[in-house]
């Protein structure tokens, strides 16, 4: 379970990093992008894929951290003689 938790966390971190870098490159974090969105909606919609990748990366990162926390709890519960119920 530890390997799965670390793998999911790492995949989420990598996806989030790629999404943030591409979002900066496409100027998703600027007011100009969003102010001109109605005029250039067709073009701007094609530039929103980093936002979806960022959401997916954040979900994977949180999921991996939850799995890692569950593993740590189970590890110390087994060592201290208090099995989780």
Q: What is the dihedral of CA 63, 68, 70, 73, to 10 degrees?
A: -160
Proportion of the chain in helix, strand, coil states, percent, rounded to 5: 80, 0, 20
The pLDDT value given to residue 45: 86
Q: What is the pLDDT of residues 29-82, one digit of tens each?
A: 889 888 988 888 888 888 889 999 999 999 999 999 999 999 998 888 888 876
pLDDT category of residue 19 using cuts at 50, 70 and 90: very high
How far apart (Å, rounded) are the C-alpha atoms in residues 1 and 4?
5
The pLDDT value given to residue 78: 82
- Cβ atoms of 5 and 72 within 8 Å: the answer is no
The pLDDT value given to residue 68: 95
């Amino acid at each position: 379970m530890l390997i799965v938790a670390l793998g999911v966390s790492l995949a989420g971190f990598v996806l989030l990093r790629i999404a943030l870098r591409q979002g900066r490159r496409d100027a998703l974090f600027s007011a100009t992008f969003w102010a001109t969105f109605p005029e250039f909606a067709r073009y701007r919609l094609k530039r929103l894929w980093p936002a979806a990748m960022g959401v997916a990366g954040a979900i994977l990162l949180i999921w991996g951290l939850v799995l890692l926390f569950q593993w740590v709890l189970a590890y110390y519960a087994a060592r201290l003689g208090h099995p989780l119920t």
